[in-house]
Chain A
Amino acid sequence: MQQTISFTLNGKPVKLAVDGDRMLLWVLRNDLGLTGTKFGCGEGLCGACTVVVDREAVRSCAIPVKDVAGKQVLTIEGLGQERLHPLQEAFINHNAFQCGFCTPGMIMNAYALLLKTPRPTREEIIRHMDDNLCRCGSYPRIVQAIQQVAGAMKGGAR
């Protein structure tokens, strides 16, 4: 059903006339031109489409856009807009990616983890990240990158 939906996207207000049952992923990619959020499986099984909604990691392929009405949505494009976020720097320093297709989802999921748990243990990192898939096998480097940020941020994501 066509409806007007407003939310905050990467710090800026957005107002859309859309069918509210459409999944956030496609609204982001096709209506708003934000292609950093990836389509990997369409059923919330791979995590490539992860975005942060009101400080929670969410699979954008599985959440209708009407469910983010009035909320704060953060995508990879909104992270580190002025300078790189420490997570992005840490991913670069640790070469925590190869093909890079899962990377936006990995970073957004890690960002949500650090919002809640600024100093996660290695086990907490693995548990939180476990449903994000990386076929290139960058897992150990991603864990190291998150650990580096967790150590450096001392108290929370900015």
Chain B
Amino acid sequence: MTRDMKRREFLALAGPGLLVIFPVPAPAAFLQRRGGPPSDVNAYLKINPDGRVTCLVGKVELGQGSKTALAQLLAEELDVALDAVDMVMGDTDQCPWDGGTYGSLSVRSFGPVLRGAAAEARAVLLQMAAEKLGEPAERLSVKASVVSGSRGKVSYAQLVGGRRIERRMEKAPVKPVSAYTIVGQSPRRKDALEKVTGKAQFAGDISLPGMLHARILRPPAHGATLREVDTSAAEKFPGARVVKEGDFIAVLHERRDLADQTLGLIKAQFDRPRPSTDDRSIFDHLVKAAPPARIVHESGSLEEGRKLAATLVEQTYLNSYVAHAPMEPHSATASIEGGKVTVWAGTQTPFPVQQQVAQALGVAPENVRIITPYVGGGFGGKSASQQAIEAARLAKATGRPVQVMWDRAEEFFFDTFRPAAVVRISSGLTAEKKIAFWDFMVYCAGDREARQFYDIPHQRTAAAGGWSGNQPPGLHPFAVGPWRAPSVNTNTFAREVHIDMLAEKAGADPLEFRLNHLSDSRMRRVLEAAAKRFGWKPRRAPTGRGMGVACAIYLGTYVATMAEVAVDKATGRVQVKRVVCAQDQGVTVNPEGSRQQIEGGIIMGLGYTLTEEVRFKDGEVLHRNFDTYELPRFSWTPTIEAVLIDNPTTPASGCGEPPIVNMGAVVANAIYDAIGVRLFQLPMTPERVLAALKGARPA
């Protein structure tokens, strides 16, 4: 297929709305493009005859507010009213290719691309207006899609008229932060009205004529194999259909609950896997089975550092597997018509899913369209979207539209958990109470932000294994994958608890000790801002007051957190009473949206800190629902104060993930300040707190 044909295809697809400005040469097909965002502005925006602007992005709205923040960026650079922007997100037939919505990348990494496209489009429109009005572009101004000069006005829609315009444009500069009127504000969220009225559609809310609801036969444990199956009773259930493709066995019915009943009629026997690990033995297993370590960073000489050390502090830190547990289970609705496969999927990765569905069905990727409606939470867990493939396979097998909506047991079973991990730190203080050396070894959490940012002359950071899905077979008993701020919750917990212990050995206030080892001005500033808001009073822990501090860098964002806790020594229960979080994320696109992310991150973080851990044995996940896997609730919620550092000279970095990373350490440090007992394993359940109080190492 030639490039021109692909271009025409896109134009036809784009429909009656007008595509402005085509640079020459013609754009490569950006719909299927891999390996980076397209440079053609037409991939991202469309100015319609009615003056509305359609913004096309491969990112998806998971709740993090990208639908609003990205519209703000476009509206700002294009000079259109925010209300005139309609977002189309995560539709593989309409939107430019994108790798997925994760890593707090939407604003940080994709934002500049979108701004550049909008600025370029604005420059072209301004040039056209200059010709139309007979006045140099430099003398024209634009407000809400209307270009004004001394001789008159013309709107973007009028300029575009009924014509298709192709024009090459030099790279146009984006606006300086000082000129912002839309970015930096907190407008009403674009998803607000739909979400409070129940009109917002998620993948499982799509209903198609003749659609069947599918339930799939699942093994009792990872590694179990189907030995025998009898579907005869299910086949007799009125209105039910049974699909058998090898081990892939599903029942389908026009009513979801009747599909549930039908599934219960299948008699299946599985061979269980051989005994392997459980949630207690896993840590030894991980250290033994991890792939070889790699050095992440090394400076100075550990040998030299050890000689300088007057006091040694060594400790091992553990954290368990943690589930994503979004409120919306993995869901997808698939339909096949005339050889075209359409899947509405609750996914963070529509373009990769398009490839996966194409491969599973043996069709070309361009014959697969993934539409991403609202996604009911992802947190990394909807980067994997097996349910979309299941729905597509079953649509093919039955010849009817099919919806797959996992139940909570499937959600816990097939989750790509945050990996359990082990961190070992060896460190020492000089006689002058400075950190002499730092030797950090992380197993299975990954190396993201593992490198030390405190000023330490002799240091080494090493990592074995990682958080991504492609770990050596047999290392983990089930799938693992990205979980909100992958690696960094684990690495920050270990580092910041350890720094607290060093501060204590140094006889210093934990904040002062940190500042004494920090020359990074951005980190100093967030710590000082947090301390000011919190009312931090210097002291040497433990004081009985229950206050703690932790800080971290997450992909360019600086975050410092202080917390106050109360510990019930009789029950071991920890209540987090107050959290102050100061964050420097460079330019803030939407302050209110950023505060929401900070609050949400802190509350979600309470889960992995206090209760959440996946119990399992020999490949069986022991959780079926929220009765045994405890998520944070209303009654856990502390008073939260978010402090956004004004930093207009640094480009926007991410804000969806950073605030969660300090939670384990800040609570652990506050617990120590409250009761004088350190915990080195997450979550810090009442049992572990009690065991630590009794002086016994918790199991």
Binding site for B on A (CB under 8 A): 22-23, 25-26, 29-31, 33-43, 45-46, 48, 75-77, 79-80, 84, 88, 91-92, 95, 97-104, 107, 125-127, 129-143
Contacts and interface: CB of A to CB of B under 8 A. Distances in A.
The 6 closest A-B pairs by CB, nearest first: A36-B198, A99-B63, A137-B603, A101-B376, A100-B195, A98-B63
A45 to B, nearest CB: 4
Contacts of B592: 95
10 contacts: A35-B207, A46-B626, A95-B192, A98-B377, A98-B596, A100-B196, A100-B376, A101-B376, A140-B637, A140-B640
Given A30-B213, A92-B188, A99-B326, A135 B633 contact: no
B193 interface: yes
Contact of B327 (A23, A37, A135, A142): A135
A18 to B, nearest CB: 9
A5 B258 CA distance: 18
A142 B196 CA distance: 12
Given A35-B201, A99-B376, A140-B637, 14 more contacts: A42-B407, A88-B197, A97-B196, A98-B63, A99-B62, A99-B377, A101-B377, A107-B196, A136-B327, A137-B600, A137-B637, A139-B634, A141-B596, A143-B634
A52 to B, nearest CB: 13
Interface stretch (B249-257, B268-276, B527-535, B566-574): B249-257
Interface string B238-257: 00000000000000001111
Nearest to A33: B207
A24 to B, nearest CB: 10
Interface string B591-624: 0110010011111100000000000000000000
B281 interface: no
Contacts, number: 170
A76 B197 CA distance: 6
Given A45-B626, A107-B196, A139 B213 contact: no
A40 B601 contact: no
A91 B405 CA distance: 27
Contact of A40 (B64, B191, B328): B328
Contacts of B596: 95, 98, 138, 141
Contact of B198 (A39, A40, A75, A99): A75
A26 B377 CA distance: 22
Interface residues of B, number: 59
B626 A41 contact: yes
Interface string B652-686: 00000000000000000000000000000000000
B92 to A, nearest CB: 21
B257 A23 contact: yes
A140 B257 CA distance: 34
Contacts of B350: none
Interface string B163-195: 000000000000000000000000011011111
Given A40-B329, A99-B374, A137 B602 contact: yes
A126 to B, nearest CB: 5
B604 A137 contact: yes
B325 interface: yes
B186 to A, nearest CB: 8
Contacts of A107: 196
A37 B198 contact: yes
B227 interface: no
Contact of A135 (B191, B194, B256, B604): B604
Given A39-B329, A95-B592, A135-B325, A101 B202 contact: yes
Contacts of A126: 634-635, 637
Contacts of B640: 140
